[in-house]
Each structure stands twice: as structure tokens, then as C-alpha cells.
Amino acid sequence: MLNELGHYALVLALGVAIIQSVVPLIGARLRDPRLMGLASPSAVATFVLVAFSFAALTVAYIRSDFSLANVVENSHSAKPMIYKISGVWGNHEGSMLLWVLILALFGMLAAVLAKQMPASLRACVVAVQGWIATAFLLFIVMTSNPFERMLPAPMEGSDLNPLLQDIGLAIHPPLLYVGYVGFSIVFAFAVAALIEGRLDAAWARWVRPWTLVSWLFLTLGIAMGSYWAYYELGWGGWWFWDPVENASFMPWLAGTALLHSAAVMEKRDALKVWTVLLALITFSLSLLGTFLVRSGVLTSVHAFASDPTRGVFILTILAIFIGGAFTLFAVRAGALKAGGAFAPMSREGALVFNNVFLTTACATVLVGTLYPLVLETLTGDKISVGPPYFNLTFIPLMVPLLVAMPFGPLLAWKRGDAAAAAERMIAAAIVAVLAGAVSGWLAGTETALTASLGTALAAFLIVGSFAEVALRTERASSFGGRLRRLVNLPRATWGAAFGHFGVGLTVLGIVALSAFETEIIRDMKVGDTAEIAGYRLDFRSAEQREGPNYTDAVAIFTVTKGGVPVARMEPARRFYPVRQMPTTEAAIKTFGLSQLYVTLGEVDGDTVVVRLFYKPLVLLIWLGAVVASLGGVVSLTDRRFRIGLPAPARRRAPMATPANAEASA
Amino acid sequence: MRGRGRKARRLVLIGTAGGALALAAALVFFALGDRITYAPTPTELAEGHVEAGTRIRLGGLVEEGSVERGADGAVSFAVTDTVNRVAVTYVGILPDLFREGQGVVAEGIFEPSGHLAADTVLARHDETYMPKEVVDSLKAQGRWQEGENEAGMIGTTAPAAPANDAPGL
């Protein structure tokens, strides 16, 4: 009964979403407050209905209701409860429902929260969000119904793919989708602005918090996915340039660019056309990612079982939305007035530099991801584009961007002083040179260059990210005064500092891993020992263990360093009888920010292949992303977002030095 | 004067953007020419379509009875499209679902001796999913029928699997 209600709610949501797409828009055209007023209730109703439908599916999973085909295919009564719940989105139909749930959530939040916005703009935004919801609800109802019955109902389900039976599935997709789908509201804002012909600094200020929220969730989602792949797949890698990873990374690159260009638009009313274009591009890339993952055109760890009709359907949605939005853009962009002028060497100039490099890097990732598909379609040649391509194109484009990153915040708006900014970076540069020298000396001859240059860059970023904070507080006369200034700095300044600091940490982690990682592979029997990076691992014993829906063959190691026992590690070969599928459970021990990582390979009699890694500073890779996201949270609490007032305008003309200009803020 | 300043600014902007684009385009063209991986089928390799020393991505089935394990993670096996076979060597831990008679993708350097020194070996991650390279490779030999579901194909070889899987140390 609940299943039918869930299905019914989904169809009803489609009906309401159509109303949400049409009526407020007509209202905005006719300036009819009653029709526009329908935006809020219809957006709320769409969300409530989709949420009900999602809850109904979740209940079916919790109860192991095997009369639903979706539950049969992806669940099992013996599966632990947490995986029964996360299993709801561990498959195509359920994850699509989660996608639409988040879409409807953002539509509702925009309708309810954006009270200070002009009613007609708000009505347009909600209506555009309604179009997207309509398209994807139609997609679910027509091609991917999660409430399909299977009668007669089997007694038992065929279990969830063991790789997905992990806490990672509970966290990674929801975070990622909030980010991915969150950019839909930014897209809706952009389209609404084009329809309304209203595009000013106020628009940028409304859009900015939504961009920030989406960006920080996408950052966390990608980082979480990366860590999950790292510990679950047992390859010991953290990023594979897999097409589906790229599919989430491209909106991240474009979204990061958008975050920065919206800042220029908000403060200086410049880069308007570009900002709107980026907003359209970012969500288009999200849609492209959805298509790539679900159409079966790619070979990937993430690809869902493919179905051509679904691919064609999403491609149609993609074509309509991207084509429509860009046509609207082409028609309307000419009418948008250019904003304030600025010198190349200025805060705006630095942000343009940021945008140029981020979008170019994004384009190279796009080319690498789509090239094999295009080539095969055109010539039939089969190729694959992997890490060698991406390392060669992406890294050289990131280096200038990263080197310039700490300078940006030191430049004043309109006209900055490059020499003064460089002077401010002397401390960071000294630290960078020292760190690079030490690192190069520690590294072997083979990796010395990577190690020293990479470490120098990371140190430069880490120290340099706080240069703006230092600059803005250095004129205080006393320690107390300085502390007060630190506390009173705009939260957005702190947010940017932590965002950049996080990037520095991630870079340091990546450099440390690529220059100092060690790895050995060894056949081992009980009683054997192996040594890696000063740690000694003794293979003590092997045993069988029973889990709720699997059995483990566990190898038990004790780890000693300098004769002192420091840890016990228990990697396992896990076997899931329902799916007849083995998985490797890596054992990971953290020492500070570094990790020992042990996986088991084939078992031959009493010998097992053991792969050991020592991964120095590896945790910084993900910790950096978390710190950067926290920076996003801090920025969100900035005064101007909290009370919806414009930031105090810079009334005084910019002074000769950035120090004065900043102090006047 | 003002007009000239504006023009100069615009030039710097366009110069930066153009420079970045040119750099990116150069990198992309170089990388696409040099750093991509061809994905030939075993038959195409046997017919000598691929030069030795090239990086390739080879899809097919692991030949029955071809897997030999050496010391410290060294392993050799053959990838077949049911007509031709290519020997593969690899050092490392094979993926969980690597099995004789099953689909596999091996990536690495095609050696002059005619074997593939793989640095990456991928298998299916799910029993209902078959890597595209494998499907293409089998299709080329007419051994794959559209609509034949992957699970069915696995079903023909699955009975042998549990024996290999039984965990034991």
C-alpha cells in the first residue's frame, strides 16, 4: 500500500512541478502577484511529495519488501540496517530519486528563503527550478520507476554490490548530490536573470551563498568519494582520472571559478556576462556528468547498468536545457551593460586570472573525458585517455594558478600594487625555499626535483594564504588590538584564507605522496616479517571470521617501530556468498598524518601475497578539502549574507597602497 | 588617454586569456598525440597493427588455464578474444573479480616480444557489468550477441568461480 502511495506521490509531484514551472512564470510576465504567489506553495508541495515518495522507498528497504523489484535487486534481509538505508541510493532508480529530492529541496529553499528578492525574479527562479524538476521527474516516472512491483515476490533479495556495503555509500552520494544538484539553483538564478533582464550586484549577492553551499558540499563529496575509493578498492590510489571522477570534478572547477567571478560581480558590478555564462556552464557540466554516468557510454567503476532508453532520455534533457539556456544567453547577453573598469593588476585582474586558468583546466579535462567517445563515434578507433594525459595537461595549468593564488587577496580592487604585494609574500617565499630545500634533500635523486618544487609550492600556499589576514591586522598598536582586529575581520576574509590554506594542505599531501611513498609486494606465510619505512610487520596468524552477510579470511599483523609495538593490523579477504563476490578489505593505520596500508592478494596454500604501502602525509589530501569547505562555511556566516544588507561600500577612492585601501573596508 | 588605458587593459586581459588557451591547446594536442592509450583487440595485436613500445589497453577474457603465479605478486596470464591470445605479465595484486574465463582489461606497454607488460589490471566490479573493451573485443569476433545479457554470459562460467573464491589462508 505504502509503495503505491509512494509511486502516486511521485506522479503527483510531476503534476505539481508542471504547475510550479508554468504559473509563476506567467505571473512574472503579467506582474500578477497572485500567480507569482503560487511559486512558494507549489515548490513546497513538490518537495513534500518527493520526500514522501523517497520515505516510502526507504521504508520498503528497511522492511526488506521483496515485492519491489528495486529492493530485490539491491537488498538482502541479512544486510546490516545502515546499508539497507544507504542501499536506497546505491542503485540507478533510488539515486535518481535522491537527485530529484535534493533538486526539489533547493527549489523550496529558494522559494521560502529568498524573501528580500523582487517577487518576479523569485517567481522566475522557482519556475526554472520547476522545469528541471519536471524533466527529471518525467525521466523517473517513464524510465526508472523505483516502485516497480515484482510478483510473485521472491523470498530473498540478491544483495547490494559488496563494494557499496560501506559507510562511504551512506555519506558520499548525498554530499556529492547536494553539491552537484545545488548548482541547479544557480542555473535557475542565471536563467531567471536573463529572462527578467535584471543583472546587477544585488543578483550576485543572492546567488553567492547558493554557490558557496553547492561548492562546499561538492568539495566534501568529491573528497569523501576519493577517500572511500582509497580505502575500499584496495588499490591504494586516491584519484584515478576516471571519467566519472572527472564528471564531478568539472562542475567543481567551473563552480570554483564561479565562486570567484561572482565576488567580482558583487563588489564591483563587473564580469556580469561572464558570471552568468559560468553559472550556466557549471550546471550544464553537472547534467553532462549525470548523462555520462547513467547512459552506459563509459567504462567506469561508477557506471550503472546501462539502458539505452535512459541515455537517450537524459541526452534529450541535456540538449533542451543546455541548448535553451545558451540560446537565451546569446539573445540576452548583448543587452547586459558592462560594469566597472579595472586595471589588469588588481583584485579583479587576479580573479580573472583565476577564472581563465580554472576554466581552461576544466576544458582540458572535458576534452580528455570526451575525446575517446568522439573518436570512437567518428572513426571507430578505440583509445583510452588516462592519467598520463591529465597529468601532462592539468598540472601545468594549475601551477601558475597556485603560484598566483596568495597574491590575489593582497591586491586592492580596481588598481593594485604588485610590488607591495610581492613584498608581503617575502616571508612565505623564504619558508617555501627552506621547505623545498629540506624536502629535496630528503628525497632520493629520482624524485628530488618534484619533491623540492612541490613542497616549496605547498609551503608558499600554506603560509601565503594568511598574508591578507596579517596585512589587515598589522597596524594595530598592541597585541590586544591586533587580536580584536583579527576577530573583527569580515568572515569572508577568513573564509577565503581557510579556503586557500586548505588548497595548500591538499597540494602538500599530493606532493608528499608522489615523492615519498614506498610500496612493497611480498609472498608471506605466518611467521614471516616485512619492513617498510622503518616499520616492521610480523605476520602472526590467520583466522576465519563470520560477518552478518559475509565471511572474512583475516591475516593478523603486529607492527613494531624500533622494537616497540605500535599497532595491530588485520587486512582481510572478504567473501559475500549471496553475490558470490570477494572483496579486499585493506587494513589502514594512521600515524600522525601518514598511514600504513596493507592489502592481501591471492592465497596459495599457506602463502598469501601481501602488498604494503607507507603513505606519508596522505591524510592532508582530504583534510585540505575539509579545511577549504570549512572556509566556505565561515564565508557563509559573513555579515552581508546574514542580514542581507550590502557590504559597506568603498566610498573612499582607492589609495596608493593596498594596505590603506584594505583598511578602509 | 583614458581610451588608450582601457585599450591597454583589454589587451592585457585578452593576452592572458589567449596565452592560457594557447598553452592549454598546445598541451592538449601534445598529450593527445603522445599520452593516449590505444585499445586494440587481441586479434588486431596478433595481426601486427600495433607497434612495439606503445601503451595499450587490452580487453578480453582471461584464457582458461593460463594463469601462472610467480613469487612476490608476479603473475602471468593470457587475454583472449576466443580467436587470438596475448600474453600478459603483471606484478601486483589482481582485482577481486579476476578469474579465468572472465572479462578483464589490462593496460601497459606492448613489448617487442609480443607480450603486454601490464601496470594496471581491471576486472568487473559487479557480476552484472562487463567492461566495454571486453564487449567490443568479443563483438569483433562475433562472440557477443546484442541483448544476450551479461549475467547470462557469466552464468556459463560462474560454477567454476566459487571454488576459486572460497576464502582460505
Cell of A70: 528495486
Contact B126 A234 (CB under 8 A): no
Q: How many A×B Cβ pairs under 8 Å? A: 163
Cell of A232: 575500499
Q: Taking the CB of residue A607, how many other CB atoms lie within 10 A of it?
A: 16
pLDDT of residue B145 exceeding 60: no
Domain boundaries, chain B: 1-35, 42-165
What is the per-residue pLDDT across A25-44, written as a single tens digit (0 to 9) for each? 999 999 999 999 999 999 99
> Given pLDDT bands bounded at 50, 70 and 90, which one contains residue B133?
low
Cell of B130: 562487463
> Given pLDDT bands bounded at 50, 70 and 90, which one contains residue B4?
low
d(CA A486, CA A469): 7
pLDDT of residue A114 exceeding 80: no
pLDDT of residue A270: 84
pLDDT of residue B165: 31
ipTM for the predicted complex: 0.74
Cβ atoms of A187 and A279 within 8 Å: the answer is: yes
pLDDT of residue A660 exceeding 80: no
Closest-CA residue in chain B for A399? B20
State in Å, rounded, how far the first CA of chain B is from the last one.
Answer: 82
pLDDT of residue A108: 95
pLDDT of residue A538: 95
Q: B142 CA to chain A: closest CA distance, Å? A: 17
> Given pLDDT bands bounded at 50, 70 and 90, which one contains residue B156?
very low
Report the pLDDT averaged over residues A601-622: 91
Closest CA to A301 of A359, A244, A234, A383: A244
Chain A touched by B166 (CB under 8 Å): yes
**3-state SS, residue B68:** strand
CB < 8 Å to A396, chain B: 23, 27
Name the average pLDDT for chain A: 89
pLDDT of residue A305: 53
pLDDT of residue A190 exceeding 90: yes
What is the per-residue pLDDT across A353-369, written as a single tens digit (0 to 9) for each? 999 999 999 999 999 99
Contact A580 B94 (CB under 8 A): no
Chain A touched by B96 (CB under 8 Å): yes
Cβ atoms of A413 and A348 within 8 Å: the answer is: yes
d(CA A103, CA A569): 43
CB < 8 Å to B20, chain A: 356-357, 360, 397
What is the per-residue pLDDT across A457-516, written as a single tens digit (0 to 9) for each? 999 999 999 998 888 887 777 888 888 888 888 898 999 999 999 999 999 999 999 999
> Given pLDDT bands bounded at 50, 70 and 90, which one contains residue A292?
confident
CB < 8 Å to B71, chain A: 523
Report the pLDDT averaged over residues A230-256: 89
Cβ atoms of A496 and A631 within 8 Å: the answer is: yes
d(CA B86, CA B70): 18
Report the pLDDT averaged over residues B115-143: 71
Indicate if the alpha-carbon torsion angle A447, A387, A574, B168 is positive or negative. Answer: negative
Report the pLDDT averaged over residues A126-147: 95
Closest CA to A279 of A251, A247, A319, A246: A251
Q: What phi, psi does A443 have (nearest 5°)?
A: -75, 160
> Given pLDDT bands bounded at 50, 70 and 90, which one contains residue A304?
low
d(CA B142, CA A211): 50
Q: Which of B107, B125, B169 sits opposite A163 (nearest CB)?
A: B125
d(CA A438, CA A452): 7
Closest-CA residue in chain A for B35? A389
- Indicate the length of chain B as a whole number: 169
Chain B touched by A602 (CB under 8 Å): yes
CB < 8 Å to A580, chain B: 127, 158, 161-162, 165
Select, from the ranges A49-58, A225-234, A513-522, B28-37, the one with the highest average predicted confidence (pLDDT): A49-58
pLDDT of residue A436: 94
Chain A touched by B82 (CB under 8 Å): no
Angle at A285 between CA A282 and CA A290, to 5 degrees: 135
What is the per-residue pLDDT across A394-446, written as a single tens digit (0 to 9) for each? 999 999 999 999 999 999 888 888 888 998 899 999 999 999 999 999 887 78
pLDDT of residue B157 exceeding 60: no
List, as one string, the DSSP characters of A433-485: HHHHHHHHHHS-TTTHHHHHHHHHHHHHHHHHTTHHHHHHHTT-SSHHHHHHH
What is the biggest distance separating any 2 CA atoms in chain B, rounded to whole angstroms? 84
Report the pLDDT averaged over residues B4-9: 70
The proportion of chain A whose per-residue pLDDT surpasses 70, expressed as a percent, equals 94
pLDDT of residue B97 exceeding 90: no
pLDDT of residue A527: 94
Cβ atoms of A450 and A506 within 8 Å: the answer is: no
Chain A touched by B73 (CB under 8 Å): yes
Chain A touched by B29 (CB under 8 Å): no
pLDDT of residue B158 exceeding 50: no
**3 state SS for A212-241:** HHHHHHHHHHHHHHHHHHHHHCCCCCCCCC
The CATH architecture that domain B42-165 belongs to is Beta Barrel (2.40)
d(CA B20, CA B35): 21
Strand-pairing partners, residue A603, are: A608
pLDDT of residue A656: 37
Beta strands in A451-586 (DSSP E): 518-524, 529-532, 535-546, 551-561, 564-569, 572-576, 581-585
**3-state SS, residue B25:** helix
For the ranges A124-128, A561-565, B41-45, which has the lowest average pLDDT? Answer: B41-45
pTM for this model (two decimals): 0.89
> Given pLDDT bands bounded at 50, 70 and 90, which one contains residue B131?
low
d(CA A287, CA A313): 12
More confident residue, A602 or A641: A602
